[in-house]
Structure 1
């Protein structure tokens, strides 16, 4: 190791961390916490140790607006099950979410709510400012598009009040809504297959409604250039870039070849296009130069009675709607009484929350730009894979537009500071996709704490490898006895702390108390231990930089078990021969291992690591990565006066849940 030149990753001087926002009509289920928040919090805590607590802001909040929230609230009111205002309704869920996140040891600087209190006020102002800037610079267009209308209830239907089948070719979603499916595919309302109103159960009418749209489709080539740049110059996950790229295809229509039998004049009726006819495939592909041409072609196919499916492509991104519960859109060009669609305003909500937090600590809210745009800062956004379209495409294009970057501009990508996305795959439940609105109901995050500690769950969720693909969460406490096989997998990685590392730390303290007057013996750390520790640190750092959380858990597992084995093998020899010199050396080495592991585990199991630091009786520079390779003596204020805090028998640093302890 000493002879190797290792290139260490470079972290920004300042960082914003965001985590996906839960809806304001739901308590948190295990997927919210285990799929996004644990990863975001671990990285935020690591960065605080790595670049300084004052240089990291971690924000998130409750997504308060949108038709699902309004619909669920109105339903409860109509059924006589709720009497408060809609603000009181979302506040109740906001407080519940906040409480659960605190129980999981999340370290957000601000967990706000997009409709409540000072954060809500600032968010309204930010929304208005962004709209006006996009409008004034020509990035918006008003368009009349079909919207679903239920004549039985005499209301326009929004979002999830319409259910059908996604029109995108190859989509595996079993639920399509008004203009998006539950896998995040975007389309126009009149493309939805077999739509049904959730109010009447009947097929709704389509009536023209005028709204504001961001000209997202114009950024197709620009976004494609950015993907190419990121592939070559960033550590963004390749599956994320692939997902973005899938939506940057030209407008196409797929038609089963049997549908075209007997039709002879189709080519003449269609606008300019090229046809891809591969004999081995059941469908013929028609590729168009623009979205407008594709829509004309859809009309042609409808006229001749040909059924078809469309492909993924960029469509104008709707900014407004007519849901009463929403942030008002500024009145422009005789369009009045519109509110923001929840998705666009939720994309810039973290900016609002950043401004709110800066204000709470006495700083100028306008300093948010120093965190979101400066060259020495980076924004890391942790999201679920279903939301890549919104964050990876719509957000990026809008943020470029807000910076004055027009579609087709020549761009020096090295100088463009856009958010870095970390998209996790689905966290399944018992091998099935769980959803609070689906057939498989997920356990609530709060419920899990009745059987596992927060740190056991944090370790487990990080170990699952959601960067690679969907993984099942299979807690045995929710299984029937006949389905249980072997030990509870949820405890496997937590046991590394509660069993293996806990045993090593306790052994160090009890040995120091018995043989060295409750002090850490002073001496040189063995070269082999120092080198193995350095290697673990550097490998861990690289995995953290790449957000490969399952890999860093593997590094910790290997290092902790090796250090425990070193202790057991060598201390057995020292005790058998009563070799105090060997005992001292082993204890010196083991305390270095304890110091190293405690710092590396600190972002994952913060409370227990603080307890170790308290008993070591060392200062908080133990967490500071400026001193990551230094021995524990570096953090002792006065070595001549230093004593470990006395460890009573049967005291654990990393504790098991009470339900797991046999009495």
Structure 2
């Protein structure tokens, strides 16, 4: 992270200080925003949109206003490869529910995902697909470059490991073609797959408990395979340094650092207390280890110096039928596999026929998509480096908490491993791959239960919600949930079987701020100007108290955006817009009662300024309504420019009379959904 991006951490948490006296946060000159990639085997459920894409879009829109739209690239795409897609495709074809190639299957879902994001006003510069069209070509090209770079730098390691093989089906099994129980201690995952569980825990395949083939239902055997790895254990000290570095940053949520820190522990195994006597009998057969016990624990643990010694101990425990669970720790990160539907791996040291495992290639896919987008805009092949390899640029990756291991550990190691053979740094130099800033959200639940398209609680599809709410109502509500703080339940009344007829719909809380309060105060200004001012914008000075409140709100908003505190943004805007409404109601009533036109003009000037501030700050959140409002105000795109954030409408007029667009009776800048009108 370059000097431009380094935050001044000292004052940011002193909430009681005068915001007008506090230093403003620093934003990069250029930015890339990415949203977690949905798999190409399904349409988008509400969690994809509400748990990741809305927040990413709000930051992208804010940064376009803040640093210039030409300096912001927002990319994501369909994750096309891997066993989840293969399994879904196979199953649907067997049932006769799909005909066509696997590429046809992925393209169908990609187009559906793309359309849904459009309907939610997600302003991606490019929503690509890792296995389709131009992005496929760029993705393969970048894959070859990175693999060769890691090999030349000495970080690519060839390892012979065990892989599941279904003898009845006559093939190796990958990813979700194997289902069992996660071997990691205290894991609450409902499913463990070949070498990761649904919670994102990594382990070696032979550690999976009670594995079954999804192809035949048989217990698969283990066979030797050769693959390329990056051994994460070699980067332990570097990752510890990285965790400490991000722990001191205001714009990294504690969830990120805390989750990564869980994997910075030595290799361990956990054994139930009732098996202690069995352990005592065979402990001398295992490598040297430290025994850890605690009176309030149901298990005791064995701590080892390295993975090799832990794995040797595992063999001993298995031989004596002593059940155990592995602890979270760094393990070698597999880069390749043998699944046919994948990005072909470059041939290195004669190893042919390998493909890249879906998780690693999805981590560098945003770079491929950036390259694809810039190429489409006519830029040369090196332009992407201004966004990904520059000290004055920053990358913001929005992800779910289950994926922190991959983005926070594997990705950081892979990116640092491109720096060269010498000492690696958590602060890349100009010209080296930047380490993205991770914005991790907690789970978005559905009716108080974790929703997963592969779990027992089926989430509603994102498109289905648009039958009950407008996109802007949903965008505002998802931001107000506060997923940066904790897991929160999404409880739409139309889809809640326990909701009473007279119960309020919690999803409409933030939407009513738009459709009721903001809409009312904005059109009141227009109608009053049309009635008393010939539809002209009243010019003149704004009251000092109004200017001060506006400036304070802008500065607080900017700070919340820097820290991705979107729930705080919504709370701040709720207060400000309601204050504008109260200010209008009180002062316009006084002016009308006294029939004081000069006082009325002052109220108009003041509240039009409040509408101006609210519109700019709500622009990233409710772009459709605020841009409609701008159209009626009659100004250009400079209205959103943060270089003019403290300007008044008088400044935009240049002191000249300005005609407002005529506002029709009962006009709605932020209309309710048709189903809500009764």
In structure 2, the partner of 1:618 is 635
Aligned to 1:387: 403
1:61 maps to which residue?
77
Q: Aligned pair 1:461/2:497, yes or no? A: no
1:593 to 610, 613, 622: 610
Aligned positions, number? 660
- Residue 145 of structure 1 corresponds to which residue in structure 2? 161
Residue 139 of structure 1, CA deviation: 0.7
Tell me what 2:100 maps to: 84
Task: Confirm or deny that 1:111 pairs with 2:127.
Answer: yes
Query: C-alpha deviations, 1:452-505, integer Å up to 9, x for none?
Result: 111000000000000011111111111236555621111110110100010000
How far apart, CA to CA, are the structure 2 residues paired with 1:2 and 1:145? Answer: 60
Q: Partner residue of 2:286? A: 270
Matched, 1:649 2:665: yes
Runs of 5+ unmatched residues, structure 1: none
In the alignment, what sits opposite 1:433? 450
Partner of 1:51: 67
* Residue 634, structure 1, aligned to residue 614, structure 2: no
Kept in 2, the 8 Å contact 1:19–1:59? The answer is yes
- Aligned-residue offset at 1:51: 0.3
Q: Deviations over 1:377-409 (max 9, x none)?
A: 000000011100000000000000012266x75
Q: Which residue does 2:330 correspond to in 1?
A: 314
Answering whether residue 189 of structure 2 is matched by residue 169 of structure 1, we say no
Structure 2 residue matching 1:586: 3-state secondary structure = helix
Match of 2:462 in 1: 445
Correspondences of 1:513-528 after superposition (within 5 Å): 513-528=530-545
1:509 aligned to 2:526? yes
Counterpart residue number, 1:573? 590
CA contact (8 A) 1:249 1:313 kept: yes
Q: 1:556 aligns with which of 555, 573, 595?
A: 573
Task: Find out whether 1:604 has 2:646 as its counterpart.
Answer: no
Q: Which ranges of structure 2 fall in alignment gaps of 5 or more residues?
A: 1-16
- Contact 1:226–1:413 (CA under 8 A) maintained in structure 2: no
Name 1:546's counterpart in structure 2.
563
Q: Deviations over 1:610-649 (max 9, x none)?
A: 1111101112111001111110122236723x20000110
Once the 2 structures are TM-superposed, how far is the Cα of residue 557 of structure 1 from its aligned partner?
0.1
Equivalent residue for 2:86? 70
Q: Aligned to 1:468, what secondary structure does the other structure show?
A: coil
1:182-231 Cα offsets, whole Å, 9 max, x none, are 11000011111111112222322122221111111211121011111221
Quote the residue 2:13 is aligned against. Answer: none
Distance of 1:333 and 1:12 partners within structure 2: 41
Alignment of 1:29-428 (within 5 A): 29-261=45-277, 264=280, 266-404=282-420, 409=424, 417-428=434-445
For the aligned residue pairs, the C-alpha RMSD in angstroms reads 1.7
Counterpart contact for 1:260–1:306, Cα < 8 Å: no
Q: 1:150-186: CA deviations, max 9, x gaps? A: 2221221111111111111111112111111111000
Distance 1:502 1:3, change over 3 A: closer
The offset of 1:276, in angstroms, is 1.8
* CA distances 1:339-373 after superposition (whole Å, capped 9, x unpaired): 11000000000000000011111101222111112
Is 1:661 matched with 2:677? Answer: yes
Deviation sequence 1:510-554 (CA, Å, 0-9, x none): 000000111111111111111111111111111000000000000
Q: Separation in 1 of the partners of 2:279 and 2:623? A: 69
- Relative to structure 1, the CA distance from residue 222 to residue 520 in structure 2 (aligned partners, 3 Å threshold; closer, same or farther) is same
Q: Give the conservation status (yes or no) of the 8 Å contact 1:229–1:413.
A: no
2:479 equivalent to 1:479 = no
Q: Do the aligned partners of residues 637 and 84 (structure 1) sit closer, same or farther apart at CA in structure 2, a change above 3 Å counting?
A: farther
Q: Does 1:583 align with 2:604?
A: no
Q: Partners of 1:575 and 1:139 in 2: how far apart?
A: 76
CA deviation after TM superposition for structure 1 residue 411, in Å: 5.9
Structure 2 Cα separation of the partners of residues 316 and 198 of structure 1 = 26
